[in-house]
Amino acid sequence: MKNKLLLLCLMAVSSIGLAQAIKQFEINADLPQQKIFANHLKLGGTNPNGERIAVNNYYISINDTPIIPVTGEFHYSRYPHQYWDESIKKMKAGGITVIPTYVFWNLHEEEEGKFVWSGDKDLRGFIELCKKSNIYSIVRVGPFCHGEIRNGGLPDWLLGKPLNIRTNDSLYLSYVKKLYDEIGKQLKGLYYKDGGPVIGIQLENEYQHSAAPWGLTYPGQPLDFTASERDRGVTHEGVAVSTANNPYAALGNDHMKVLKSLAEKAGMVTPLYTATGWGNAAIVPNESIPVTAAYAYPFWTPKRDYSPFFLYKNMHANPDYAPVRYTPENYPALPAELGSGISLTYLRRPVVVHQSFDAMINRCLGSGANGIGYYMYHSGSTPRGKHNFMNDEAYGVNKISYEYQGPIGEYGQVREGFHRLKLTHFFLRDFGDLLAPMTVALPANAASLKPENIHDLRYAIRFKGSSGFLFLNNFQDDTAMIDQEHIQVKIKTAAGDVLIPASGGFNLASGENAIFPFNFDCNGTKLIYATAQLLMKGEDEMPYFVFFTPNGVKGAFSFEPGTIVESIKGAKVNRTSVTCTADICEFAVIKDGKKTRVLVVDKERALKAYTIAVNGKKSLLFSNAIVLQNENNFELLSDSANNFHIDIYPKTTAVLKAPAGNLKVIKENPTFSSWHITLPAFEPKLSFREISSRKTAVALPQALPAGINDIYLQVNYKGDTGMDFVNGELVADNFYNGLPWQVGLRKFLSAPVTPKEMVFYFRPMQKDATYLQDLEPYPGYVPDFGKANEYLKVDSISLIPQYKITINF
């Protein structure tokens, strides 16, 4: 009897301990819906096919279907025009739907009256390629742009004219009119109303908020900013909160109206007009969408600090960098400048963690954003002018390089952030119409959470009626969040409570984020919840949905009673519940005679995913290679590896053909149609000679062999700066920040005369360098100076080939 009592006591204690281990969090979705109205906005338009873009106070729609646009900044003038098409296809493969691009006035009219629109400055050619790839564009026409370029894009000669810049000064406006007329000519016939891709025009940039320094300055002199005289007292060096009262705010709004009028007279008539609206900047009230920003790793602040941009809020009511000049509830929340990376300055060199990219997007969407955009998505190199370097030397940025540490690098390198972001982009493409009208709800403690709080769970929901999405984020810049373990979230809806999960809990690792559906319509079957994130949907022999599980999360699905669940692979079924038991999990659900297939993959595989069309049929392709589609042809790019897999879901009967390499069909895979491709190996020979302790000459290959798309010359060094010369001319430069320095060689090898070598010149790091604060959190980034006051060491120089093959079905 005693042993039985002891056993019962132990079981009771054990169950109490288990109950205590579950951490339950609550959030209320039984709230009034978001009010949506539109008659106040003078925005929208139609194209020749009768398609209509419209804007209300909460979201953008096409043909009355809500959309969440995904914009990615790419500056055509900072990249070789012969590779624009490839880069546009990369961006589309990454899920970008709109490409914004600056028109830098001083690059096109460096000398007064002499406009240049050819070569890498061919705006029209760039927009025509966007049209070819069926991707929209927003043209940022200035006249002031910033963009870390000389004078923020204003020509040098403008400083010497008897006028006041960025005002309604008649002489200044006459020059702006000439610029706008020239841009209008370049874009003629390419606007949305003409069947073209240009859906928007951005007017000015950060007007009455920020400016760039004039390039004509003296060493040691305080920076002289390109703001009107009247606005200098409220002008910031970068994006910031601005609480200053500008007595000339009304004049600023009026100037924006004048700019819009000049743009329209130049032919720039589009459904959308945007203006940067953060920090009390000016907009065109009710005629432009005030876009917002969020930079987690700014270079313009004096030191590193914790960013607030990983904490959920209601962005529609309280934009980032508030206060703002407009009424936020009257416009969609469109963060168009999310710092996916950052530029470097000589004094500040932030190291951007790519985990921050999708964490920030998760936070913005969970906070009510109905559009997301990246500055920059694609890095580049700024061309030299006739008289000056055209990057913002006065601000201390590189002379040539505009490497933003973003998803796509200065030479087209596809990076970790590209793959992380596309998972959310694919979700928005297929489910954005559901998310866009949804209302934001926050937990009770959301307003009191601080960025330095690494212990409390960060979560929010978007909902409509009783269905929606749970957003979770466990990332914070410049620190590490604790692992969240044994989480259970209770969502109160009008139709009853939803527990995610119904029993037990799930874990969210430090640095991870997730979006989980609840009361989701899965082709007529109600999915009560899933601890997996939607990736995409399609239809083959039957409709299907694809999910992925965040790292450390086991996929669990709960369907409404009456649902029949059939296990296919890697799934444990208990009535209407499914638990994934493998990295690839497949099952089918049947309700009222409608059958739907579900595929669940782990995040590692999801990061290799691309949405494609095979003979017109939507499919999902997994590969370590970068996959670019051109109708039924696919270009596969692979850095360093000459062999890789291709898996396609759903399985296809289409025959894959490859004109080069060895193609092997993998028949034993029950889930995917699979192939393995092996290309002839290429080992580029590296030859270099040390000229001195600071200077090294590297011999260049004289051509790219067949099957090689590019060769990256990678320099691993620890020092202060690196400069790269060809025939005595500076062609690239690098501010050391702990990351390898890569230079893409193909643009040099395609020159009329191929250079024989590159000469690299390095300068040593100083022990008291101000930027060391940015490098200290990362092991090995700061060298051991010992007793010396400076340090320079070139650890290695190597060549990395990028393989290329074209395949078709």
Q: pLDDT tens, 68-99?
A: 999 999 999 999 999 999 999 999 999 999 99
Same fold, 64-433 and 688-808: no
Q: What is the pLDDT of residues 483-534, one digit of tens each?
A: 999 999 999 999 999 999 999 999 999 999 999 999 999 999 999 999 999 9
Residues 125 and 284: their CA atoms lie apart, in Å, by: 30
Structure confidence at residue 10 (pLDDT): 43
By C-alpha distance, which of 417, 485, 457 is closest to 20? 485
Structure confidence at residue 527 (pLDDT): 98
By C-alpha distance, which of 429, 789, 455 is closest to 611? 429
Pairing assessment for the beta strands 673-678 and 662-666 based on DSSP bridges: antiparallel
Q: Provide DSSP, 633-691.
A: EEEEEEES-SEEEEEEES---PPPB-SSSEEEEE---SSSEEEEEE---------EEES
Q: What is the pLDDT of residues 538-597, one digit of tens each?
A: 999 899 999 999 999 999 999 999 999 999 999 999 999 999 999 999 999 999 999 999
CB 250, CB 239: distance < 8 Å: no
Confidence of residue 64 (pLDDT cuts 50, 70, 90): very high
Q: What is the pLDDT of residues 186-204, one digit of tens each?
A: 999 999 999 999 999 999 9
By C-alpha distance, which of 720, 716, 725, 713 is closest to 344? 720
CB 353, CB 407: distance < 8 Å: no
Torsional sign, CA 206, 77, 44, 188? positive
* Class level of CATH domain 23-31+439-603: mainly beta
Tokens of 774: 């940015």
Structure confidence at residue 17 (pLDDT): 46
- Would you say residue 468 has pLDDT above 70? yes
Confidence of residue 14 (pLDDT cuts 50, 70, 90): very low
Confidence of residue 21 (pLDDT cuts 50, 70, 90): confident
Who's near 803: CB < 8 A, 6+ residues apart? 636, 637, 638, 639, 641, 642, 679, 682, 707, 708, 709
Q: What is the pLDDT of residues 624-643, one digit of tens each?
A: 999 999 988 999 999 999 99
Structure confidence at residue 73 (pLDDT): 98
CB 713, CB 742: distance < 8 Å: yes
Mean pLDDT for the chain overall: 95
Burial of 236 (0-12, 13-18, 19+ CB in 10 A): buried
Residues 179 and 275: their CA atoms lie apart, in Å, by: 18
CB 256, CB 203: distance < 8 Å: yes
Point out which residues pair with 25 in neighbouring strands: 489
Residues 801 and 483: their CA atoms lie apart, in Å, by: 38
Structure confidence at residue 4 (pLDDT): 52
> Any idea which architecture 64-433 has in CATH?
Alpha-Beta Barrel (3.20)
Q: What is the pLDDT of residues 675-717, one digit of tens each?
A: 999 999 999 999 999 999 999 999 999 999 999 999 999 999 9
- Would you say residue 18 has pLDDT above 60? no
Q: Hey, where are the domains in the chain?
A: 23-31+439-603, 64-433, 609-678, 688-808
- Would you say residue 165 has pLDDT above 80? yes
> Any idea which architecture 688-808 has in CATH?
Sandwich (2.60)
- Would you say residue 15 has pLDDT above 80? no
Pairing assessment for the beta strands 741-744 and 708-718 based on DSSP bridges: antiparallel
User: What number is the average pLDDT over the span 270-274?
Assistant: 98
Sheet arrangement for strand 662-666: 609-614, 617-622, 643-649, 673-678, 662-666
Structure confidence at residue 3 (pLDDT): 52
User: What number is the average pLDDT over the span 26-40?
Assistant: 96
Tokens of 700: 């260049």
Point out which residues pair with 797 in neighbouring strands: 715
Q: Provide DSSP, 595-623.
A: EEEEEEEEHHHHTTEEEEEETTEEEEEE-
Instruction: Say what the alpha-carbon torsion angle 574, 580, 584, 586 is, to the nearest 10 degrees.
Output: 20
Burial of 759 (0-12, 13-18, 19+ CB in 10 A): middle
Q: What is the pLDDT of residues 237-263, one digit of tens each?
A: 889 999 988 999 999 999 999 999 999
From residue 391, how far is each of 218, 382, 429, 526 by CA, in Å? 16, 6, 35, 54
Ramachandran sector of residue 456 (left: φ over 0; alpha: ψ -120 to 50; beta: rest): beta
Block residue for tokens 């060491």? 793
C-beta pairs of 722-730 under 8 Å, 24+ apart in sequence? 722/760, 722/761, 722/762, 722/763, 723/760, 723/761, 723/762, 724/758, 724/759, 724/760, 725/758, 725/759, 725/760, 725/761, 726/755, 726/758, 726/759, 727/755, 730/384, 730/399, 730/400
